[in-house]
Structure 1
Amino acid sequence: MNANLALATSAIPTAAPALAARAAAAEVQIDIRNVGKVYDSKTTHQAVIALDGVSLRIKKGEFISLLGPSGCGKSTLLSIIAGFQSASSGQILQNGRPISKPDASRTVVFQDYALFGWMTVQQNVEFGLKAKGMPKAQRAEIARELIKTVHLAGFEDKYPHQMSGGMKQRAAIARALAPDPDILLMDEPFGALDAQTRVLLQEEIARISTEAGKTVIFVTHGIDEAVFLADRVVVMSPRPGRVRDEVLVPLPRPRTAEMRSDPWFVSTVKDLWETLKPEWQKGE
């Protein structure tokens, strides 16, 4: 439970526990209930358990990092939340309703940008708004403002092949934000970028997500990235993926570069690395 929520709940008179429970439940936007995912292996003809009994409650406006080694099921879990896949067991609720298919209230940013190469930055960012039938002038204005937000002003007429990887990912983030989704799902979006660009974009997404007030679920295998961005780091075990630990991040927002040298940040990154290192060295 979020520390602030725990503090607030403890102050509620004991005569009203039911009211407190309802208030806490009302804040939950994504409710992951005992989710399992099993694949049939085409090579070994044996079942592969990707997720096993994953339960997690995510509040509206919370930034969650899913941290774990490759193959731990974190991208699979994100895909089920997005509605691209179905769970083999359990269920995921959004605002109390089961997620069964993709929905405009949830958008995804992938590692490979997924921009349309034949469209300009402006056209890419407008795409979702055009699909919703928004008038041309209105969608153009919204797209221009988002392009400014991700610091791409002046590149509206450029095509993806004319931009660096970091710029393409900024455009992808702007496109994901354009339809004004409730939830932003990010699947290792900075994994293919160089170290310097990755750090800069971490600071950008921290700023943008705070300003926009979106719920963000961010998949990563980078420990410092997970801690820097999140309100809560959810640590997943090697296959089959389970929630093995949760770390509440007390750093204030907006997040700044200086926080990377905060003693709590340095200590937490080190402790997580020492915990996860043996499992990652196995090549799981």
Structure 2
Amino acid sequence: MISSLAITLPVIPEQAASVPVTATSDIQMDIRDVRKVYGGDADNSVVALDGVTLRIRRGEFISLLGPSGCGKSTLLNILAGFQPVSSGQILQNGRTITKPDPSRTVVFQDYALFGWMTVQQNVEFGLKAKGMPRKQRAELARSLINMVRLNGFEEKYPHQISGGMKQRAAIARALAPDPDILLMDEPFGALDAQTRVLMQEEIARISSAAGKTVVFVTHGIDEAVFLADRVVVMSPRPGRVRQEVHVPLPRPRTAEMRSDPWFVSTVNDLWETLKPEWQKGE
């Protein structure tokens, strides 16, 4: 039974800050020594991930940060069940991930909306496929459209709305099946700088309201720190976890936090760490 997300949103304490993962029962995703190799020929194979170990707590917002080619999108695809590991294991609530599952939904950079469907129909799509009655799915879709602030655009088609609005519609569609985990692969990468900042504030608000576990891939340092409870910094290929930064900023996140001394210092420190790799064009 799919619950009505917008009606029963969990309350997120305003001063809640991230803390290190400790309790085993609170671990929703357990990534154990994952290695991913492309190509069967040893001479031509590419090691994308090597020995990635990470534990993700229920309700935590994780940013995967690193230069292009570091394997962060590969890891997200493995978490989604789109690709198998070469070795190692990934568990969700104690069970091995082997294929896509409705408990994990994905938001891509290119929106992936159906151009022949309205915003309302796009958001309803997964619910219709699951057999939810028309009236119930229409009500749930409208509540999610309201949540992402697209009221009045229900009957618009993707080509009739802006890039930021398309991405909000994609987020609403991903939330509609009430997944446990939301996977986001550089979802704001195609947006202009101003819209990107506004969308960062939107996803901070939406993710806090929805109370979902989020894994968010980005190469933007400011974006990673602003959104996350924990920033996982990955090394150049082969991708490994090189550093984890716990973000003590309270929720809800606001634009003013970008000038917080801790925020500014952390962004600068991460830039100094990653700059040599970006300069190499890795």
In the TM superposition, residue 247 of structure 1 has moved relative to its aligned partner by: 0.2
Please give the TM-score of this superposition, normalised by the length of structure 2: 0.92
Give yes or no for contact 1:62–1:215 (8 Å, CA) kept in 2: yes
Q: Which amino acid aligns with 2:233?
A: V
Q: State the number of aligned residues.
A: 266
Q: Distance in 2 between matches of 1:246 and 1:266?
A: 17
Q: Distance in 1 between matches of 2:95 and 2:18?
A: 26
Indicate yes or no: 2:248 matched with 1:250: yes
Q: CA RMSD in A?
A: 1.5
Q: Distance in 2 between matches of 1:4 and 1:233?
A: 12
Q: Which amino acid aligns with 1:89?
A: S
Higher alpha-carbon Rg: 1
- Greater length-normalized contact order (CA 8 Å, ≥ 6 residues apart): 2
Which consecutive aligned stretches of 4+ in structure 1 deviate over 2 angstroms post-superposition?
2-6
Cα distance change on mapping 1:217 and 1:282 into 2, 3 Å: same
In the TM superposition, residue 45 of structure 1 has moved relative to its aligned partner by: 6.0
What is residue 32 of structure 2 aligned with on the other side? 33
Q: Distance in 2 between matches of 1:221 and 1:125?
A: 28
Cα distance change on mapping 1:112 and 1:5 into 2, 3 Å: closer
What is residue 215 of structure 2 aligned with on the other side? 217
Q: Distance in 2 between matches of 1:45 and 1:239?
A: 16
Report sequence identity in percent.
Answer: 82
Structure having the higher helix fraction is 1
Cα distance change on mapping 1:240 and 1:125 into 2, 3 Å: same
Within the candidate set 180, 183, 186, 2:184 is matched to 186
Within the candidate set 58, 70, 90, 1:60 is matched to 58
Cα distance change on mapping 1:41 and 1:238 into 2, 3 Å: farther
Q: Which amino acid aligns with 2:115?
A: G
In the TM superposition, residue 94 of structure 1 has moved relative to its aligned partner by: 0.0
Please give the TM-score of this superposition, normalised by the length of structure 1: 0.91
SS for the counterpart of 1:226 is helix
Q: Distance in 2 between matches of 1:275 and 1:195?
A: 23
Q: Distance in 1 between matches of 2:125 and 2:232?
A: 33
Give yes or no for contact 1:36–1:50 (8 Å, CA) kept in 2: yes
Within the candidate set 137, 149, 160, 2:135 is matched to 137
What is residue 227 of structure 2 aligned with on the other side? 229
Give yes or no for contact 1:121–1:156 (8 Å, CA) kept in 2: yes
